[in-house]
Chain A
Amino acid sequence: MKSVHRKMTDEVKLYGFPGSPFGCRVETALKLKGIKYEFIQEDLSNKSADLLKYNPVHKKIPVLVHNGNPIAESVVIIEYIDDIWKEVPILPQDAYEKAQARFWAKFIDDKCIPAIYNSYGNVEAVAEATEPLQFLENELNVKGKKFFGGDNIGLVDICACYMAFWVGAAEEALGIKIMTKEKFPKLKKWCDSYINCQVVKDSLPPRESLVAYYKWRFGKAE
């Protein structure tokens, strides 16, 4: 398919925020494909005029601006990146495998992340938080591969960065256990493999900042 938007020098900007798992997704996708981009850090309490212009509907990060054209919503952005830059594919080629990847990406966003987030500062909700994770554990079990994407990272791995990094930081900050090795051996192994990929390492925020943030946001007042 002709990449109508590729120019001699593509101009790629990413409006984001370093602690955001959704921004991290997009950065991982860009780095995976070796795409040069400018990162524009937003102050979420004082959003720039540009961000509001590029994402008037949600006024949120991340927003990718490719040759002046804005795209919002992390999964929409990743699919766009995959459509335009063909090297190192993120989605499977096969239509059925692609549908499965999209299904799991949606499951992570609709079920996993909200349930986990709900459990911060709410101990009773921890059991509910682990229920959706069991499906991801089973998926890894059944697939028997290193990543959700197979031998290489794919859409689902990228979307699950929250589980790989953010959850551990929250567990440490709040003294809670959501993703135990006993209950989720495959997921824990996957987390290690995932965050040790160079492009992922390069996209993650410093762990201490995240731990400090969670302590401040959800920690019990002294």
Chain B
Amino acid sequence: MSDIVKLYAFRGSPYSCRPEIALKLKGVKYEFIQEDLKNKSADLIKYNPVNKKVPVLVHNGNPISESVVILEYIDEVWKGVPILPQDAYEKAQARFWARFVDDKCIPAVFKAMVSRGEEQAVAEAHVQMQFLENELKAEGKKFFGGDNVGLVDICASYMALWVGAAEEALGIKLMPKDKFPKLIEWSDNYINCPAVKDGLPPRETVVGIYKTL
């Protein structure tokens, strides 16, 4: 049986890159369909009528929405190169941190970006980032997933690329090396993984997006 895998996404979106990285990590062939977010396709609306957002994975005609739901689906269907840990407790921890990145970290960092580095907003972002820094420190691992990239690393792509791009575009400091040495080290390791490099948008694209903010 040959799988037909389509990914409706937007190159430049930190959520769209997540399924791409996962698919590339597992060597799954897929068709990438770039959406114009100001003029969404009829297909996208059909496949995600509830939220009308990217990314949407369509596997043999069956649509799945929400980036983390898609990641878990990809991990369950294509077993090679696991993204989630096998152990139930480790899996729960990975899910917990993935939610933390989405519910707490990214919103706080985004707020700091939008405020152009306002002191209070940056301080709040640092509070959330400190939890990630501590997590890397405590486990002494190369990646949140251990020796290899996992769910949390993929969700934290935003920290690895989008933060640096925003710093450059807006001339602000969001993730100083002296405060977040582990996060900086992790970012370098992460964006240099082959599958990740292929799945991330070019840095200039993201810098360009932020310059229009």
Contact = CB atoms under 8 A, between A and B. Distances in A.
Contacts of A76: 92, 95-96, 99
A102 B65 CA distance: 10
Interface in B30-76: 50-51, 59, 62, 64-66, 68-70, 72-73, 76
Given A96-B62, A103-B65, A107-B50, A69 B131 contact: no
Nearest to A96: B62
A153 interface: no
A11 interface: no
A49 interface: no
Contact of B131 (A57, A66, A83, A99): A57
B88 interface: yes
A72 B87 contact: no
Contacts, number: 67
Given A57-B100, A102-B72, A80 B91 contact: yes
A77 interface: yes
Ranked nearest first, the 6 interchain pairs of A and B with the lowest CB-CB distance are A83-B88, A80-B92, A95-B76, A99-B73, A76-B95, A102-B69
B66 A103 contact: yes
A95 B92 contact: no
B1 interface: no
Contact of A5 (B59, B86, B88): B88
Interface of B: 50-51, 59, 62, 64-66, 68-70, 72-73, 76-77, 86-89, 91-93, 95-96, 99-100, 104, 131
Given A57-B131, A96-B62, A107-B50, A71 B92 contact: yes
19 contacts: A5-B88, A57-B131, A66-B89, A71-B92, A72-B96, A73-B95, A76-B96, A77-B92, A79-B95, A80-B89, A80-B91, A95-B73, A96-B62, A98-B72, A98-B73, A99-B70, A102-B66, A103-B69, A106-B66
A111 B89 CA distance: 28
Interface of A: 1, 3-5, 57, 66, 69, 71-73, 76-77, 79-80, 83-84, 95-96, 98-100, 102-103, 106-107, 135
B76 A98 contact: yes
A96 B66 contact: no
Nearest to B60: A96
Contact of B96 (A71, A95, A96, A99): A71
Contacts of A95: 73, 76-77
B5 to A, nearest CB: 13
A73 B96 contact: yes
B72 to A, nearest CB: 7
Contacts of B66: 102-103, 106
